[in-house]
Amino acid sequence: MPATPNPKEEIARDVSSLQSQINSLGQGIRLTKIRDEVEDLQTTVNQLSQDVSSLRSRGYVFGKDFEARAVNFSRQWTKIGPGIMTQIEQQSNRLQTAFTPLGSRMPALSTAASGNMAQARTLLNQLKPQASALESQVKAAEAQLNGMYNSFKGELYEFSGQVDKVDWMLTQLAESSFQLLATEAGIMAVKAVWAKDGKEKKDDPEGVLYLTDQRLIFEQKEEVATKKILFITTEKQKVQNFLFDTPVALVEAVNSTKQGLFKNEDHIDIKFATGAPFQKSHFHIWHECEAWQALINRAKIKDFEKERAVAVDAAAEAKIKSAPNKCPSCGGNIQQVILRGQDNIKCEFCGTVIRL
pLDDT recorded at residue 85: 96
Residue 55: its H or E element = helix 32-57
What phi and psi values does residue 167 have, to the nearest 5 degrees? -60, -45
pLDDT tens by residue, 305-340: 999 999 998 888 888 888 888 999 998 888 889 999
pLDDT recorded at residue 322: 87
The residue type of 264 is N
One digit per residue, pLDDT tens: the chain, 356 residues?
A: 455 567 778 888 888 888 888 889 988 999 999 999 999 999 999 999 999 999 999 999 999 999 999 999 999 999 999 999 999 999 999 999 999 988 888 888 787 778 777 887 888 888 899 989 999 999 999 999 999 999 999 999 999 999 999 999 999 999 999 999 989 999 999 999 999 888 899 899 999 999 999 999 999 999 877 677 766 777 788 999 999 999 999 999 999 999 988 899 999 999 999 989 999 999 999 999 999 999 999 999 999 999 999 999 888 888 888 888 899 999 888 888 999 988 888 888 888 888 88
* Residues 194, 216: Cα–Cα separation, whole Å: 13
**CB-based contacts of 15-21 (< 8 A; 24+ apart in sequence):** 15/109, 15/110, 15/113, 15/120, 15/124, 18/106, 18/109, 18/124, 18/127, 18/128, 18/131, 19/106, 19/110, 21/131, 21/135
The pTM (predicted TM-score) of the whole model is: 0.87
DSSP character at residue 340: T
* Residues 128, 132: Cα–Cα separation, whole Å: 6
Coil vs helix vs strand at 194: strand
DSSP character at residue 312: P
If we measure between CA atoms, which residue out of 320, 241, 334, 255 comes closest to residue 293?
255
If we measure between CA atoms, which residue out of 289, 290, 302, 304 comes closest to residue 60?
304
Domains within the chain, CATH numbers bracketed: 7-175 (no CATH), 186-307 (2.30.29.30), 318-356 (no CATH)
How many CB atoms are closer than 10 A to CB 127?
Answer: 21
pLDDT recorded at residue 226: 66
β strands within 185-335, DSSP E: 186-195, 206-212, 215-229, 232-247, 251-259, 265-272, 280-285
Residue 110: its H or E element = helix 106-113
38, 84 in Cβ contact below 8 A? yes
Q: What is the CA radius of gyration of the chain?
A: 31
What phi and psi values does residue 235 have, to the nearest 5 degrees? -140, 145
pLDDT recorded at residue 1: 46
* Residues 74, 224: Cα–Cα separation, whole Å: 45
DSSP character at residue 304: G
- Three-class HEC string of 259-293: ECCCCCEEEEEEEECECECCCEEEEEECCCHHHHH
103, 18 in Cβ contact below 8 A? no
308, 61 in Cβ contact below 8 A? yes
Pick left, alpha or beta for residue 272 (phi over 0 → left; psi -120 to 50 → alpha; otherwise beta): beta
Strands laid side by side in the 251-259 sheet: 232-247, 215-229, 206-212, 186-195, 280-285, 265-272, 251-259
